Amino acid sequence: MLLLYNGSMKTFTHIEHEYPILKRVTADDGTRVYQTPEGNAYPSVTTVTGLLNKKSIQEWRAKVGEKTANEISNRAATRGTRVHNLCEDYLNNKQPEIDMFDQSMWESFTPLLDRIDNVHALETPLYSDHLAVAGTVDCIAEFDGKLSVIDFKTSRKPKKLEWIKNYFMQCAAYAVAFEEMTKQPISRLVILMAVDDNDPILFIQNRDDYIDDFISLREDYSKLHNK
C-alpha cells in the first residue's frame, strides 16, 4: 500500500549542467559498459568496485545456499530501489509515495535529506577519461553547505565505516568524473544510510583518502578483463 508523504517538504534548488548522454550496453563477456560520446566503452564504477567483495559474496552464497541468497539479495535490491526513488522524488520537489513498510524509516531519513541543497546532479550518468570508468551517481549537491558526492544506501543492520570502503571508492570516482566534466572539484564524500528498525547513519569522508585505492582496483580490473 502506497501512502503520500504528508510531512513538511523543503524546496530544493537545482543547478543546471549540460551532461552528455551515455549509452549502457552489455559487452561480449557479459560485463556492463557505458559508451561515451567519443566512442569509448568504459566499465561501470560499481563493476570495478565489485572486485573488492567478490570473494566474500561467493563464500556467503555458498554458506546460505543459492535460494536463500537470491531471496535476500532480491529483497535488498527492491528496498534499495524504493528508497532511491523516494530520495529522487523528494529532491526533485515531488511529493513521494511511500510504501507503508518504509514509512517509519523514511520519516527518520528526511532530516538528513533536508541538509542537502543546490543539487548539481541526481541519478546522472558521469564518466572519466582519466579513470576510464563511467556510472550513474546518486547525487551531487551541497551537504551542510559544502559540495559533496552523496550516496543513498539501505541496510538491514547498522554498518561500520571499515565495512563500506567500496562505497567511498565509488564516490571518489564520481568526484573525479564530475570535476573532469564541470571543472568543479569535490573533496567531500557523504553516505546517507537508511537502516531497518534503526536510526539512519551519516558517514563523511575525504575523496583523497580513497581515490588511489580506486585507481589501483581499476588497474586490477584491466588485468582481469583486458579493458
Q: Note whether 126 and 178 are within 8 A (CB).
A: yes
pLDDT in tens, 80-106: 678 888 999 999 999 878 776 678 888
pLDDT value, residue 60: 43
Express as a percent the part of the chain with pLDDT over 70. 81
pLDDT at 76 over 80: no
User: Could you report how far apart the first and last alpha carbons of the chain are, in Å?
Assistant: 45
What pLDDT does 62 receive?
A: 56
Report, as an integer, the average pLDDT of 6-32.
84
What's this model's pTM, rounded to 2 decimal places? 0.89
pLDDT of residue 67: 63
120-166: pLDDT as tens digits:
999 999 999 999 999 999 999 999 999 999 999 998 889 999 999 99
Query: What mean pLDDT is predicted for residues 178-204?
Result: 95
Judged on CB neighbours under 10 Å (0-12, 13-18, 19+), 115 is middle
DSSP-based three-state secondary structure for 68: helix
What's the whole-number mean pLDDT along residues 166-192?
Answer: 97
The structural domains of the chain, with segments of one domain joined by +, span: 22-225
Mean pLDDT of the chain: 86
Length of the chain: 227
Q: Tell me the C-alpha distance between 99 and 106, whole Å.
A: 10
Q: Report the pLDDT averaged over residues 193-205.
A: 93
Least trusted range by pLDDT, from 34-43, 51-60, 74-83, 122-131: 51-60
* pLDDT, position 96: 79
Q: Which residue has the higher pLDDT, 26 or 94?
A: 94
Contact 215, 131 (CB under 8 A): yes
